[in-house]
Amino acid sequence: MTKLLSLVSVATLSVALQAQSTASPQAPSPGDASRMPQTTESRPQTASDAADPEASQKSGQVQAASVSAELTKGLDSKKAKVGDEVDAKTTDEAKLPDGTDLPKGTKLKGNVVDVKAKSKEENSSHMVISLNRAELKDGHEVPIRSAITSMTAPATNIGAAMPAGGAMAGPIGSGAAAPGGSAGGAGGSVGASPAPMPSSPTMGTGDMGASSQSTPGPMLKSANDRVPVGNKPKVTLSAPTTPDSASVLDAQGENISLGSGTKFTVNVASAENMGQPHP
């Protein structure tokens, strides 16, 4: 189910959206931006207030929907250039607060806003991306403002890196020696307990282990929060700081490399009516 959220819950997310609107001249106070809207508990300046559309409209807050999506084209700070297209799609159906339906598979499009690759002089990388339009299945494009709140890269398949043929060679070799050693050789092969051990990884435990080691990326909880990207502990995600950006990514000691299939949650608001004042 699509959650109705208010991006004012994170100050920088609010800035990214409300900068597009002339209806909200006052900036949110630090107290209003203390937490991401995640729960429905009734506490001051938390999600319960932010998730109330009527209360948010009265206070001039920008409403948004939490949408699940994934990249359909990889991003790499070593290869990317400013202006390169960012492509993603929704993985669940969603409805924006203005009533716009985003069916599952809706394309989300944007651009690389800023990028810096790791170099000999600078042992870090940096990338800022935008997601500023949603393309419906009928080809109609809806302008949006967005803020990515969590991100999880595909898990590395550790099993694929192991030489499967080499792992199989152990058990096959012992079995081949059995006929040469006649019945006694076969008995020796059965009695040697270490021999079957290499066969365990060849039963698919390597692949099973890789999938179970996937670590979902945590959610941004405040304006100044910085969280690791799931399965990419050296890459961090932070809230957007400008109206043109949806997320800020940084990495130490490596380039930022996010493959196709990287999953993320993103707060999305329609940009079509953001210039109109709330009643």
Q: For position 222, what pLDDT does the model report?
A: 84
Name residues whose C-beta falls within 8 Å of residue 200's C-beta, 6 or more positions apart in sequence: none
Q: Please say whether the beta carbons of 9 and 33 come within 8 A.
A: yes
Rounded distance between C-alpha atoms, residue 139 and residue 122, angstroms: 42
Rounded distance between C-alpha atoms, residue 161 and residue 166, angstroms: 12
Q: Please say whether the beta carbons of 205 and 162 come within 8 A.
A: no
> Looking at residue 71, what DSSP letter applies?
E
Q: For position 99, what pLDDT does the model report?
A: 92
Inter-helix orientation angle 164-180/182-191, to 10°: 140
Residue-range domain boundaries for the chain: 3-154+216-270, 158-211
Collect the ranges in the chain with pLDDT lower than 50.
Answer: 1-59, 158-191, 198-212, 276-279
Tokens standing for residue 172: 């096959």
For tokens 């937490």, the residue is 35
Q: How many CB atoms lie within 10 A of CB 264?
A: 26
Q: For position 195, what pLDDT does the model report?
A: 52
Is the pTM higher than 0.85? The answer reads no
Secondary structure class of 111 (helix, strand, coil):
strand
Give the amino acid at 208.
Answer: M
Name residues whose C-beta falls within 8 Å of residue 93's C-beta, 6 or more positions apart in sequence: 2, 101, 102, 103, 104
Q: For position 8, what pLDDT does the model report?
A: 37
Burial (Cβ within 10 Å: 0-12, 13-18, ≥19) of residue 84 = middle
Q: For position 197, what pLDDT does the model report?
A: 52
DSSP string, 211-278: HHT--PPPPP-STT-EEEEBTEEEEEEE---STT-SEEEEEESS--EE-TT-EEEEEEEESTTTTSPP
